[in-house]
Each structure stands twice: as structure tokens, then as C-alpha cells.
Amino acid sequence: MNRTERTRLLTGLIAAAAEAGTKIREMAAHGIVARAKADSSPVTDADEAAEVIIERHLATLLPGVPMIGEEAVAQGSKTKPSSTFFLVDPIDGTREFVAGRAEYTVNIGLLIEGTPVLGVIYAPALEELYAGGASGAFRLALPPGKNPGEATSEPIAVRLPPKRRTAVVSHSHLDSATTAWLRRHGIEETVKAGSSIKFCRVAEGKADVYPRLAPVSEWDIAAGHAILMAAGGSVRSPEGTPLHYGKRKGDYEVTSFIASGGAPF
């Protein structure tokens, strides 16, 4: 897949995320009602509607390439990854969404041979869209309903590590293992954020590392992984080995990772 083709695909992923995010905001304006899935996590009609929109876009963009979507898997989908496939989380941070907070995101990642190569994260309530691929990473100022082609764009990159490095951590998933990891690495300053926007904060140089030492699903992190790599960062296991996607274990589980900016840990 050459650079021209990846640029075309990334433009298509942005369009898919933008339409899905606009639909989510429209539905939120009429009230949000959450239901519990089999694993007790919340889901809303907006999650499902956004995933349908994204699947429609991706089927046109790369016909025949499988899409592994969180809601489809939750409903029993047997779609399996191939050498090229998409990972989609239509609303990452559904709890944030249901609570009326702004830090929820639409995530779309394209993977080749188990490695994220393109990624888009759209936070419609924050009016921010992040994307990354072969030509680097960038941020769009994108209110819901606006044509992405008319949005203001600026490149982003990880920062050189300062003497006192900052970690971005979860509002709701900061556990004892992560706290111990921060202590071992001498990181005292933390910034809390929700959803996959944490990857974006490292990618744009507002933080230096995002450690996650608890299990997470592949669709939660694939898009952020691609964006952070495009911005000059890395996402690896705590032992320093590369992450490989598409190997189903339970719920497409990743046990832990360290997302780093200008210098790996």
C-alpha cells in the first residue's frame, strides 16, 4: 500500500468518524438511555448507530476488508481479522458519554499484519479530531456537522522529554499497579483524561507517557496507537515488546501497554 493510497484511506476514515460523531451528538441532544451488555458495560443507541455508519463507510472504502467493531462483537459477530482489517470503537468512553461529560471518542484503526498503520480519533463534544498515518499526525478543529475538508488542520508531534515528565492517566481506571509504575519511574505529575484522548495528549506533546497496566480491548487502543506512532511515539508492552493485534483472546484483549512520547520507557 503506497503513500497515495494510505492518504486516500485516511481521508475516508476521517469522513466516517466525522459522520459518526455528528450522529452521536444529534442523538445525545434527544437524551441518552444506557443499557447493560452481557459483560455489564454500558451501551446506547448512539453506540450502535455510529457503528453502522462507520461500517457503511469502510465497506465502500476497502470492499471485502473485515471490520471488527465493539458492538458487533458484543452481539455475537463471528467476523475474523485477516491480514488487513479494521478495528472500530464507535464510542470509547460510553460511561463519560452517558454521564454528560465531553471526553468520549470515535475510534477507527486500520491494521496490516497486526500493526496499526492508520488511525482516527474524533472527540465530537470537544470538537477535536486526530489522525495519523504515513505522512505524520495532525489535529483538526472539527465541530460536528462541519466538512472535514474545510476544517483547520495542524501537524502534531511528541515533545522532547522534559526533566520532569508528565503521565496522562485515566479518570476511572487508575489502579495500584499503574500508581506503582509511576512511582518506579519517578513520575510525580499526572493529568487525568477519559477515553482514547489520552493517546492524543501524548501525541500532541501535552504529556510524555500513558501507562495502562490493566486489560483493555484492541478496538480501544488501535487508532491511538497508529496516531501516536505517526507523531513519533511508540506503544509497547511493559516489557518493551511490540503489540500485535488480531489475536483473539477472550474479548480481543490487550493485557497492558505503555504509550510513550519522545523517549520510550
| Same domain membership, residue 16 and residue 106 | yes
CATH number of the domain enclosing 223: 3.40.190.80
Q: Provide the pLDDT for residue 200.
A: 98
Counted domains in the chain:
2
Same domain, 85 and 26: yes
pLDDT-derived band at 249, boundaries 50, 70, 90: low
- Alpha carbon distance 262, 2 (integer Å): 26
Instruction: Calculate what percentage of the chain has a pLDDT beyond 70.
Output: 98
Based on the fold, state whether residues 94 and 129 are members of the same structural domain.
Answer: yes
| Percent of the chain that is helix, strand, coil (3-state, to 5) | 30, 30, 40
pLDDT above 70 (res 248)? no
Which residue type does 6 have? R
My answer on whether 170 and 233 are in the same domain is yes
The reply to whether 29 falls in a domain is yes
Contact 258, 228 (CB under 8 A): no
Of how many residues is the chain composed?
A: 265
One domain, residues 20 and 130: yes
**Burial of residue 73, with CB atoms counted within 10 A of its CB: 0-12 exposed, 13-18 middle, 19 or more buried:** middle
Read off the pLDDT band of 250 (50, 70, 90): low
Neighbours of 147 (CB within 10 A): 9
**By residue range, what is the domain housing residue 85?**
3-156
Phi, psi (degrees; rounded to nearest 5) at 124 = -65, -35
pTM for this one?
0.96
26 and 144 fall within a common domain: yes
Q: Is residue 161 part of a domain?
A: no
Q: How many percent of the chain have pLDDT more than 90?
A: 85
Mean per-residue pLDDT over the chain, rounded: 94
Mean pLDDT for 177-196 is 93
- Structure confidence by residue, pLDDT tens digits, 77-103: 989 999 999 999 999 999 999 999 999
We report the CATH number of the domain holding residue 69 as 3.30.540.10
> Is 265 a domain residue?
no
Tens-digit pLDDT profile for residues 44-86: 999 999 999 999 999 999 999 999 999 999 999 989 999 999 9
Q: What is the pLDDT of residues 143-152, one digit of tens each?
A: 999 999 999 9
What was the pLDDT predicted at 159? 97
Give counts: helices (H), strands (E), the chain: 7, 16
